[in-house]
Amino acid sequence: MHALTLLAALSAAGASVTASPLGPPKLPRSSASDTNPFVGKKLFANPKWAAKLEDTYKSFTQKGDKANAAVVRKVEKIGTFVWVTSRSGLSEIDDAIKAARDEQSRTGQKQIVGLVLYNLPDRDCSAGESAGELSSKNDGLRIYKEQFVKPYAAKLAAAKDLQFAVVLEPDSLGNAVTNTGVAFCAQAVPTYREGIAFAIKNLQLDNVALYLDAANGGWLGWGDSLPLAAKEFATVLSLAKPATIRGFSTNVSNYNPYLTNNTTRPRDSYTAGSPSYDESHYASSLSPYLIQQGLPSHFIIDQGRVALPGARKEWGEWCNVGPAGFGHTPTTDQTVLQNGNVDAIVWVKPGGESDGQCGMAGAPRAGAWFGGYVEMLVKNADGSVKA
């Protein structure tokens, strides 16, 4: 579900690394009247993911590693998004709703359930590791609308006692921006646009905040790609009118740090020349172009997994990157975020689920549990996880 290597992606777009035509990116702040849907709520911690982590806990315990076993116990309580990736997987929504209601009743704490809607026909057109069940050649778009999006929306509409944050079709519009040089992607783009617009229109619910996926800073954050990305997003939103979204998700299933500096987290050398050298700066760099297109400039940023400094030789490495660790815990605290455009740091990709049969040796198919990998994530977890 990811881009080609960075150089290939830029080549396909005919892009070069240049300064933004709008000049240095400014940091527009969202209106004070806007309501951040994450504030005052707990991101739902999926018990199904926690159950998978039990083997990780046992592994550390058997090794006598009490410190990392204790970290696992903390990770189990951290909220993550639930991925809904097929028609048969729609039952994941029912399970999440039941568990979130139980938790909300037990604790009295309002839950926000994070969901990913990910089942477009011709999905993952460039990389292919996360190809899905639907094909545009086999009536896939109609099936997507009628048998996936509509029941998906109906389930959320019936759960008015819960708040939902929905990430729409990760990486799909990234491919539309940079990978139309791939014939399969060029053919898929009209389907992507129509399918996502249909999902947006059908999920206009008071208890749902929609975040259209904007890939990541290493993919779309270069000077020439930023206006192209905003234009593509605007194209999709024009098809969905008068429907709206809350904002955009970035870094989903990727490994970019939220914020780099000269002390605790140095900037990686391959980010030289990019205004989007970390995900916070990507949000800041993209925001002026979104505003120019009349689009919202709110973001949620995935920090479920973060590559350690030096782990990658180039930005285009996306599959089971190592070494990496669990990133900063989900938060809306602006003393951490330091960016008025960012609604929250979240964990969209549940750490431990493989990116595909690539990257580290022994990696299983995309979405399958990768036990050795999650142990690495625990060992390298951010200090906020261990606190």
Q: Active-site residues: which are they?
A: 124, 171
- The three-class DSSP label of residue 229 is helix
* 113 in Cβ contact with 164 (< 8 Å): yes
Cα–Cα distance, 104 to 110 (Å, whole number): 6
Alpha carbons within 13 A on the beta-carbon side of 78: 28
Helix (H) or strand (E) holding 202: helix 183-202
234-to-144, 241, 245 alpha-carbon distances in Å: 22, 10, 11
Q: What is the DSSP string of 43-78?
A: EP--HHHHHHTHHHHHHHHHTT-HHHHHHHHHHTTS
What single-letter DSSP state applies at residue 315? Answer: T
Cα–Cα distance, 340 to 192 (Å, whole number): 30
Alpha carbons within 13 A on the beta-carbon side of 60: 20
